Amino acid sequence: MAKVLKILTNDNPKEDKVLREKSEYVPVEEIKSKEFQDYLDDLLETAKKSKIPAAGIASPQVGVLKRVFYTLNYDTNEWQEFINPEIEPTNLAKTSIEEECLSVPGKIGKVLRYANIKIKFMDRNGEKKCIKYTGLNAVTLQHENDHLDGILFIDKIIK
């Protein structure tokens, strides 16, 4: 049974240090392991049961420096995992939307991001995928992907 993990926040210096670290690539063998599959279930459960409604959660937010995150698709209302994601803009159009984050409590700010992206990733079966996203879904994916590189949205707020 999946369990809720502790969400790290940037107002704790030790936790902020972890949030600022770069995450590691997850090998296919590890993805297919029972331990990792259980971890994926725990990470998703953590997002679903967070005190504030979450649109996504990245592995570093629970102190595990692996290149994995979940987002809630705004078109389908379904959660999806992204393992070892690589994001590319599909054109140069940008958008700015107010963002907030489970790891940065009480802060909101506008961030300029690509409006249209494609993301290459692996699913929980180790299958490679490539999907295009636009609008709010594209923004959410970029926000969560930043976590994998130790970047918080407050580092990118436009003045």
Is-catalytic flag, 45? no
CA distance 73 to 136: 9
pLDDT of residue 53: 78
> What residues contact 70, with CB distance under 8 A and at least 6 apart?
43, 44, 47, 56, 57, 79, 80, 81, 82, 144
Residues 6+ apart with CB under 8 A from 35: none
- The pLDDT confidence band at residue 62, using thresholds 50, 70 and 90, is very high
Q: Which CATH architecture has domain 13-155?
A: Alpha-Beta Complex (3.90)
Instruction: Say what the pLDDT of residue 54 is.
Output: 86
**Residues 68-119: pLDDT tens digits?**
999 999 999 999 999 999 999 999 999 999 999 999 999 999 999 999 999 9
Q: What percent of the chain has pLDDT over 70?
A: 100
Between the two ends of the chain, the Cα-to-Cα distance in Å is 44
Say what the pLDDT of residue 20 is: 98
Cα 74 → chain centroid: 15
Task: Give the Å distances, CA to CA, from 138 to 36, 100, 109, 112, 142.
Answer: 26, 15, 17, 12, 6
For residue 126, name the pLDDT band (cuts at 50, 70, 90).
very high
Q: Are 141 and 82 in contact (CB under 8 A)?
A: yes
Mean pLDDT (the chain, rounded):
96
pLDDT band at 159 (very low <50, low <70, confident <90, very high): confident
Please tell me the pTM assigned to this model.
0.97
Q: Catalytic pick from 30, 45, 99, 144?
A: 144
